[in-house]
Structure 1
């Protein structure tokens, strides 16, 4: 992220992005909610990557340098909020669950005229109320600071289907599994299996958005079977990958 645009006001608008389309690195002085009503959105910062399908939105605090990328045709809805409006008190990018009511509120608010009408004020108040009740979702893939851990994570990002144990990978990067395990906890705040599962789930969402068949997604992301993939996906997102809005069977 070398070229960083500064926007004093975070826009409230809708925007279409083709699959593979991107919004380059920028920051703004307002908070922003980013929601993709179709497709899968990834937001990248120096701290890692967040991913959101149509059942999730991403909260981006003021001042955070971030970039967007579309996987599948993206129907993007952006909601800018002044710094005084932070209903969940979030200081870092966060994935939030989006139920049917919150979805419709975001779509209505981004599609309404940007004015100070009483109707828009009421719509915004209800939107903030629903955000306060929105559960946070663990769909963050943190970027390691440790050069050793960064090397290991890059190997897995190149091939999420790599099934080697931490000890086996340690032989390649020149460290013991105990050292690597300690680094995962201290640097990334999670265990090696947790990080790898997050990586695989993020890659699965991207592949599903690209119309990749479910069985192929399971294989490419390293699950031992399609049923194992379906089970983890369902426990994480509340529905099966076959019923995912962008899935191909």
Structure 2
């Protein structure tokens, strides 16, 4: 089933799973904080999509999905012309994580979800063949490994200001000492606050934020050179090295598989 990003039933269907393709017609469309009776996988088929729950932010990259359990408040934002797929899972239909996370989506699982989105009659109980497909899909989803594309986002006023500044200007290379001066606190106090609120050191947290920003920008169609400049790297090579160390492959191979692999690294 295909729906508008801003106008669709958040708890559709009579079956254990329901898949919806959603198109974005305006730039940076966002759904405010809400929840569903069903759990929800969110896949970005093209373009860029972010998802936030209180205290955490995800960028949804290719080959991955965000899992939002039932009754968990969340908001989503998609860029212009994004192609998104939502997969709703009824409570108790599968043994899935109790807390939000990102999971890897294999090509087979992706095709199964897209087949349901294109062929499923949301208003009718699935026939025997589609019902078997749903059960296989649920079994596969239970086995999907988790990934590391989330970022703790503190609501503490001091840290919230840092988050907003770095999100708007990811090239900012201010040191922890400089941030402490801006926050009118000691470096040690700020370091402890960041660890307490995020579970990460400042350096690791900032790098994770840059990875998420780079994923979003690359998904929007920016070149590696543009993203490298936006993030303040001294060279494209330095950015590619960071990206490969974090994700195990280069930006070009990550986003463009097969014949197009590596073209965006240039």
Both structures adopt the same fold (TM-score exceeding 0.5): yes
Matched length: 244
Shift of 1:238: 4.1
- Select 2:20's aligned residue among 13, 30, 36: 13
Change in CA separation of 1:111 and 1:203 when aligned onto 2, cut-off 3 Å: same
Q: Give the RMSD, CA atoms, in angstroms.
A: 2.5
User: In 1, distance between residues paired with 2:144 and 2:134?
Assistant: 15
Describe the superposition over 1:175-203 as per-residue Cα deviations: whole angstroms up to 9, x where unpaired.
22211221122111222112111211121
> Where in structure 2 are the equivalents of 1:22-101 lying within 5 Å?
22-25=29-32, 26-71=34-79, 73-91=81-99, 93-101=100-108
Cα distance, 1:167–1:21 mapped onto 2, change above 3 Å:
closer
Task: Assess, with a 3 A threshold, how the Cα gap between structure 1 residues 99 and 195 changes in structure 2: closer, same or farther.
Answer: same
1:161 Cα deviation from its structure 2 partner:
0.9
Query: Structure 2 residue aligned with 1:122, among 132, 147, 157?
Result: 132
Q: Is the 8 A contact 2:27 2:79 kept in 1?
A: yes
Task: State yes or no: 1:109 paired with 2:116.
Answer: yes
TM-score of the two chains, using structure 1 as the length reference: 0.87
1-structure distance, mates of 2:94, 2:199 = 24
Match of 2:157 in 1: 147
The alpha-carbon distance between structure 1 residues 46 and 201, as it changes in their structure 2 partners (threshold 3 A), is same
1:190-209 matched pairs, under 5 angstroms: 190-209=200-219
Which sections of structure 2, spanning at least 5 residues, go unmatched?
Answer: 1-6, 13-17
Q: Superposed, which structure 2 residues align to 1:162-181 within 5 Å? A: 162-181=172-191
In structure 2, what is the equivalent of residue 210 of structure 1?
220
Kindly provide the CA deviation profile for residues 97-119 of structure 1, in whole angstroms up to 9, marking residues without a partner as x: 12212211221222232332122
What corresponds to 1:240 in structure 2?
A: 250
**What CA deviation, in whole Å up to 9, does each residue of 1:126-163 have, x standing for no partner?**
21222222221111122213222222222222211111
**What TM-score do you get using the length of structure 2 for normalisation?**
0.82
8 Å Cα contact 2:48/2:220 also seen in 1: no
Q: Does the 8 Å contact 1:200/1:222 carry over to 2?
A: no
Q: For structure 1, list consecutive stretches of 5 or more residues without a partner in the other structure.
A: none
2:142 corresponds in structure 1 to 132
